Amino acid sequence: MSIYFISDIHGCYKEFKLLLKKSNFNIKTDYLWIAGDLVSRGPNSLEVMRYLYSIKDRIKISLGNHDLNLIAVYSGVQKNKKENCFDDFLSAKDSHKLINWLRSQSILQIDEIQKIIMVHAGISPQWNLETVKKCSLEIKKALLSKNYPLFLDSVFNNKIDYWDDHFEKINRLRYSINVFTRMRYCYPNGKLNLICKESPNVVQYPLLPWFVISNKFIEKYSIIFGHWSSLKGTNVPNQFFPLDQGCCWGGELLMLRWEDKKYFYQDYQK
C-alpha cells in the first residue's frame, strides 16, 4: 500500500489518468490524497469528478477555492464564468450527486501518526493546532448544512485578513476560507496579502511566503499543499511539499509517492 499526493488537477482529466498510470497507482491497495482544486480552468471537470467519485473510498480531499466556487455556482450564489469551464458539469444528470459529495469533503486533512497535514493553500502563522482543527470543522459543518448557499454567499471577503480570537462566527469563517484556500503571502505580523501571486524569487520584503513565518506547531508536521503554481523552481523548507505545477496553464501535473518521496510528472496534453 502506498499514499500518493496530488493537487490542482483543475479538470485536466487526460493528464490525470496518464499520471495515475505512470505512477502505477493501484485503486485496490493505494490511497490518493488531493490538495484541492479538482475542477475549473481545464476542460474536463465533470470527468474528473465522476472518476474521483468512483474511487471515493480510496481518496482524501482538502477542498480548494475553485472547488468552493463550483459549489457556489451550482447553488446559484456565484455567476458561471466562461473560464470556469463548468457548463458540462452543470447540465449533467448526476451533478447534484457529485455536488453533495464534494461539499461533504473536508477543508483540511491531518494524519497524526505520520505527522502529515494536507491543505490547499496554507496554515495561518497566527494559529495553533487547536485553532486549525476548530476552524476546519466549522467550515465542514457550514458546507454540510441546509443553508450552505447562504454560507457561500457571505463568506468570500478580502477584508478579513488578520486573525482575532474574538471574531464573530461569520468573520471567523471568512478568515478561515482565506487561509485554507487562498493564502500565499503574509506580512511579518501574520496579516494576509490576498493579491500577490508572484514567485518569491521576485517578491520583496515585507511580503513573506506563509511557510517561512515561524509557527511552533507546524514544525512537527510535513505540510502538503497546492494553489501556488509560481512556486515552481523555488526553494522551500524541507518539511513543505508544494504540488501545484500549473498543468491547466500548460505546465505539468505532479504526483508524490510518500513512502519513497518519489515524484511523477505529466506534461500538459495539447
The one-letter amino acid code at 112 reads: E
In angstroms, the CA 196 to CA 193 distance is 7
Asked if residue 232 has pLDDT above 90, the reply is: no
Q: What is the pLDDT of residues 146-164, one digit of tens each?
A: 999 999 999 999 999 999 9
Cis bond before residue 43 (omega within 30° of 0): no
Give the residue among 29, 37, 31, 34 at the shortest CA–CA distance from 8. 37
Residue 10 DSSP label: T
In angstroms, the CA 146 to CA 76 distance is 14
**Cell numbers standing for residue 269:** 496534453
Give the residue among 66, 90, 78 at the shortest CA–CA distance from 177. 66
Asked if residue 214 has pLDDT above 90, the reply is: no
- % residues pLDDT > 90 (the chain): 96
Three-state SS across 200-227? CCCCCCCCEEHHHCCCCHHHHCEEEECC
pLDDT attached to residue 109: 98
Query: Average pLDDT in the 16-37 region?
Result: 97
The one-letter amino acid code at 242 reads: P
Q: Alpha helix locations (H) across the chain? A: 13-22, 45-54, 65-75, 87-91, 95-102, 129-144, 148-155, 169-182
Asked if residue 204 has pLDDT above 90, the reply is: yes
Query: Average pLDDT in the 229-254 region?
Result: 95
Taking only Cα atoms into account, the Rg of the chain, rounded to an integer number of angstroms, comes to: 18
Asked if residue 270 has pLDDT above 80, the reply is: no
pLDDT band at 240 (very low <50, low <70, confident <90, very high): very high
In angstroms, the CA 173 to CA 152 distance is 10
- Which domains are present in the chain? 3-267 (3.60.21.10)
pLDDT band at 185 (very low <50, low <70, confident <90, very high): very high
For residues 94 and 83, is the Cβ–Cβ distance under 8 A? no
3 pairs with which residues across the strands?
A: 31
Mean pLDDT value across the chain: 96
In angstroms, the CA 43 to CA 63 distance is 19
**Cell numbers standing for residue 6:** 496530488
Residues in contact with 3: Cβ distance below 8 Å, sequence separation at least 6, in sequence order: 30, 31, 32, 33, 257, 258, 259
Residue 58 DSSP label: G
Asked if residue 233 has pLDDT above 90, the reply is: no
**Cell numbers standing for residue 201:** 524569487
Asked if residue 19 has pLDDT above 80, the reply is: yes
Q: pTM of the prediction?
A: 0.97
Q: What is the pLDDT of residues 62-90, one digit of tens each?
A: 999 999 999 999 999 999 999 999 999 99
| Burial letters 201-240, b for 16+ CB under 10 A, else e | eebeeebbbbbebebeebeebbbbbbbbbbbeeeebeeeb
Q: What is the pLDDT of residues 113-129, one digit of tens each?
A: 999 999 999 999 999 99
